[in-house]
Structure 1
Amino acid sequence: MTIEDQDFIMRQVKLMAKGIGVFMSLTSLKELLKLEFSFDDELTDQEIDGIIYLARTEELIDKNILSKKELEEALGVTSERVDQLLNNEASPNGKERDILEQLIEDNQYWMNQDETDL
């Protein structure tokens, strides 16, 4: 798979995770993405998880629940690394993925608060 193809797929996965993925469990979203994009051999489950967690982390940042500085501190990385992750220039490693998952779980109530208030 070319870099352009992978970048396209990562952007599409991120868009779906931010859109419909907010209302779905991680497992359901992964199954939908596999059906939609047929990328079983192209992306691993860990890569898909990382993209989804990054998309949901961006939502936390967009809703001012989490700052980029707090994300840097939580991940124990530089601002450059955070920018690479958020701009799809890099994928989170195992430790970063675990931390992102925990951040999402810790803030899930606040992420859904805006939708339930409507």
Structure 2
Amino acid sequence: MNTEDKDWLMRQVRAFATGLGALLSKDSLRDFLEYKHYDSAIITDDDLDALIVYAQFQRLAEARQLSAADLAAASGIAADRLAAFTKGTALPTTAEQRQMQEFLDHAAE
């Protein structure tokens, strides 16, 4: 699969994760990919983990109506990286996923 196809597929999965994926597990997203006859090896479990935690993070930020600057300050993630996640041009690193999870955990308290 070429890079354009993978990018398109990642955008589709990101849209799905943003909509329902925050409520679904990684296995459910993997089942969706296989149901749609995509080569599920194209998207790794790490990619799915990143998409799920970002979808939950984004949902909370929208619910609290946080500005990009406030979200960057509260989460400790650089504003340009948050913008890249929103545009779909980057996935959170493991460290950024950890920061997002800490933000989510703190918000739940």
Classify the TM-score, shorter chain. Answer: 0.7 to 0.9
How far off is 1:86 after superposition? Answer: 1.6
Equivalenced residue count is: 108
In structure 1, how many angstroms separate the alpha carbons of the residues matched to 2:54 and 2:20? 15
In structure 1, how many angstroms separate the alpha carbons of the residues matched to 2:108 and 2:27? 17
Residue 89 of structure 1 aligns to a residue whose secondary structure is coil
Q: 1:69 to 1:15 in 2, by over 3 A?
A: same
How far off is 1:61 after superposition? Answer: 2.4
Cross-structure match for 2:20: 20
Structure-2-length-normalised TM-score:
0.73
Cross-structure match for 2:45: 45
| CA-atom RMSD in angstroms | 2.7
How far off is 1:10 after superposition? Answer: 1.8
In structure 1, how many angstroms separate the alpha carbons of the residues matched to 2:67 and 2:10? 23
Asked whether 1:87 is paired with 2:97, we answer no
Runs of at least 5 residues in structure 2 that lack an aligned partner in the other structure: none
Structure-1-length-normalised TM-score:
0.68
Runs of at least 5 residues in structure 1 that lack an aligned partner in the other structure: 110-118
Cross-structure match for 2:28: 29
